[in-house]
A and B are shown apart, each in its own frame.
Chain A
Amino acid sequence: MDIYLPIANMSVNALVVILLGGGVGILSGMFGVGGGFLTTPLLILYGIPPTVAAASATTQVTGASVSGVLAHWQRDGVDVRMGALLVLGGMFGALAGAGVFSLLESAGQMDTIIAIMYVVLLGGIGGLMARDAWAAISAKKSGQPRVARKRRHHPLVANLPMRWRFYASGLYVSPLAPLALGFGVGVLTVLLGVGGGFILVPAMIYGLGMATRVVVGTSLFQILFVTAITTLVHALTTQAVDIVLAGLLLIGSVVGAQLGTRLASRLPADWLRLGLAAIILSLSLWLALGLGWRPSEIYTVQAL
């Protein structure tokens, strides 16, 4: 069934887009990530203009994170104070990101920069996850319990002035740390169309040293608000939000997310994480190869 996308100015197979959203939704339900990092490159691969892909994927991430936020909220898994600071930082990040976006667009380096950022981010995060998951699995096999990493924040964070208490997170740190983290993730949300969960969660655990109980809920809280703001920023600046494309993706992904949550409770967590790491690493490798390979089209056209 073909459907014409009014903003992307092209027709796509609705079933393919819904299935794509569904697949990403299953992964996001299983691993607790928004899945934007998969949606954007896959949409671009399908032939959607990169700007429209990034903008519409952002809208989809908002919907995919709603049910997660609700669930974590009900069991007190959101540090609202921390979350609000992250959102505030993310708001400024989204605005700054929009500036960077138009700068890169006019210089014609958008696709290269996006691809490089994806390779670096996905490669780094995937590598960390794989190492972590593998260590957990081999510890279980050898029967020796893993030495738990002592929870403390990074020295860089500890040295920041003006400390606040975050009771839910069990922290006493400067509010500048979550503000800066939120800012960075906000920039990425605009540029890459990702929620940033795959950066936020490790940064909260290893950087800030937050209590794991509130990490996922707070990160989803930030993602929900920042992707919503980013959709507005895109609607106002690039005007590239395709509501039909986002709707199709959402139909697939909200259903997929629910299925994924159910699947996740039946599968071993460590192997699951290793699986996600493998997906992320292969995506990163594929994008890296794409940069080095001679592209099928040397020329690209951009309307002025």
Chain B
Amino acid sequence: MRRLRALLLLPILFLSIAAANPVLVPDVSQRKIDIVYSFTGAELLMFGAILYPGGRIPTEKADIVVVLRGPTQPLIVREKQKLGGLIWVNAESARFLSAPGYYAIASSRPLDELVDERTAAIYELGVKNLQLSPASSEQPETRRRFENGLIDLFSKSKLYDEQPGSVEISNGVLYRARLAIPARVPVGNYVTETFLIKEGRILAVASKEVQIDKSGFERFVAESARQYPLLYGLVAVLLSLLLGWGAAMAFRRI
């Protein structure tokens, strides 16, 4: 059955290559990134090939944009204000329903040279074009202020990152880009997207999945804390009692 479907798909693949639009064949250096005890961040190499119809590379080079996007999460952004001229406290807040926990974009040229604002907004290209789905019904300028606050905060911790000009394209067909993943990334399923862009038009899109998960001891601890909280708490108490008692005994000898 599967082979049959593959056979049926084959002509379609050839047809699409034969058609006017080129095809992207993307890949990543790691399908699964494990967070182990020594994890201090990772680097993901995103690479692939541009297949032009008939293998003819056009004289005008196209551009490549790669995006790595983490799982989305609902979150609340709070803004500090000075209270009574004395202390800074959280005052106003705004909720966003689908802020990605990680977003990095790399391109072969600065984004504003590649696409117009409308296209960038449709494909969510660039940190400021992320669809954060604000939940509250505030004024657009208030919403914008909180969005900027959120983006600024995430950019500082390298969870949102823009790297214009960092995609290398060799011979017009092979591309590669490195994206840095900081130690604080959320775990979950990540999606990479590769865009082939020429004269402001997106010619081809391809995506690939990457999984980031805790593994080994880190996974064991995080799961125990969630699934057996009482046992986990007891072990923590026991550990502290034993270490405290052990040190007292050890030092008594000296």
> What range describes how many residues of B lie at the interface?
35 or more
With an 8 A cutoff between CB atoms, is A257 at the interface? yes
In the complex, A300→B226 CA distance in Å?
25
B142–chain A nearest beta-carbon distance, Å = 13
Find B236's partner among A109, A116, A241 (CB 8 Å cutoff): A241
The interface size bin for chain A is 35 or more
Contact pick for A299, options B87, B95, B152, B248, CB 8 Å: B152
Q: Which A residues from 54 to 72 make CB contacts under 8 A with B?
A: 59-60, 62-67, 70-71
In the complex, chain A residues 183-204 whose Cβ is within 8 Å of any chain B Cβ = none
Tally of A-B residue pairs with Cβ under 8 A?
175
B153 contact set on A, CB distance < 8 A = 297, 299-301
User: Provided the pairs A11-B183, A70-B245 are in contact, do residues A250 and B240 lie with their beta carbons within 8 angstroms?
Assistant: yes
A223 to B88, CA, bound (A): 33
Q: Which of B1-9, B58-66, B70-78 forms contacts with chain A?
A: B70-78
Q: Quick one: which of A231, A239, A257, A300 contacts B90, CB cutoff 8 A?
A: A300
Contact A2 B232 (CB under 8 A): no
| Interface of chain B residues 195 through 254 with chain A (CB within 8 A) | 214, 217-219, 221-222, 225-226, 229-230, 232-237, 239-241, 243-248, 251
Q: Which B residues are closer than 8 A to A by beta carbons?
A: 35-41, 73-80, 82, 86-90, 93, 95, 146, 149-150, 152-154, 183-184, 186, 214, 217-219, 221-222, 225-226, 229-230, 232-237, 239-241, 243-248, 251
Q: List 16 A-B contacts (CB under 8 A).
A: A4-B38, A7-B221, A9-B184, A10-B183, A63-B239, A63-B244, A66-B240, A67-B251, A239-B225, A254-B243, A255-B247, A258-B248, A297-B153, A299-B152, A303-B73, A304-B76
Please provide the 6 A-B residue pairs with the shortest distance between their CB atoms, ordered closest to farther: A235-B233, A66-B244, A299-B149, A67-B248, A63-B240, A254-B247
